[in-house]
Amino acid sequence: MLIDRDQSLVLLIDIQQRLAPAIADNREVENAAAWVLQVALQLDVPILATEQYPAGLGHTVPVLAELLPDDAVLEKMHFSAYKETAIRQRITELERKQIIVLGTETHVCVLQSVLDMLAAGFQLYVVDDAVGSREPLHKQQGLQRMQQAGAVIINREMLAFEWLECAGTETFKRIHQGWIR
């Protein structure tokens, strides 16, 4: 099944100031997440972001925070974002069935959020290059478990090209000219 931008919601999970430096390849993860957010913004795909206990882990890293809409950031204490009532309500209000997931840590908060949202009936797409864990093996194990449960593992270009659908449009030309590597 193709990803439809009119049915998509981007969920950025816990890429926070005090946790990010410990993530393997953290700059690559942050850059990939920023790239996805920039494309989503240009295509009017809604974005939500979570922060796990920001008093202890800090807020979303600046390179991503500057891309987030004003009301996008929601605090959480549960590892699964979907267990938080306010986050679950926001996701429900947006009426999108395809959730695009970015964030950290792949084997903890990303995994638990994805499993809960799959159980709730959503289609989940996890952007491999925009998720991370402290240990690369833990990232791979988290991705494998999500895939076994029914999530689709994608990369950022798969996502963008599926959202764009066609090369001949003005939207494609505008976004492709600003393509970030």
Cα dihedral value 61, 62, 66, 69, nearest 10: 30
Q: DSSP E strands: which ranges in the chain? A: 8-13, 47-52, 73-76, 98-104, 123-132, 152-154
The pLDDT score that the predictor gives to residue 172 is: 83
In the sheet where 152-154 sits, what is the strand order?
73-76, 47-52, 8-13, 98-104, 123-132, 152-154
Look at residue 166 in the predicted model and tell me its pLDDT. 87
Instruction: Render pLDDT for 47-90 as a digit per residue (tens, 0 to 9).
Output: 999 999 999 999 999 999 999 999 999 999 999 999 999 999 99
Predicted local distance difference test score (pLDDT) of residue 91:
98
* Residue 65 confidence (pLDDT): 97
Count CA atoms within 13 Å of residue 181 on its CB side: 1
Output the pLDDT for position 160: 94
For residue 176, the model assigns a pLDDT of: 77
Q: Which residues of the chain have pLDDT under 50?
A: 180-181
Q: Find where tokens 């505008």 sit.
A: 174
CA–CA separation, 29 and 98 (whole Å): 21
**DSSP assignment letter at 120:** T
Q: Where are the beta strands (DSSP E) in 54-122?
A: 73-76, 98-104
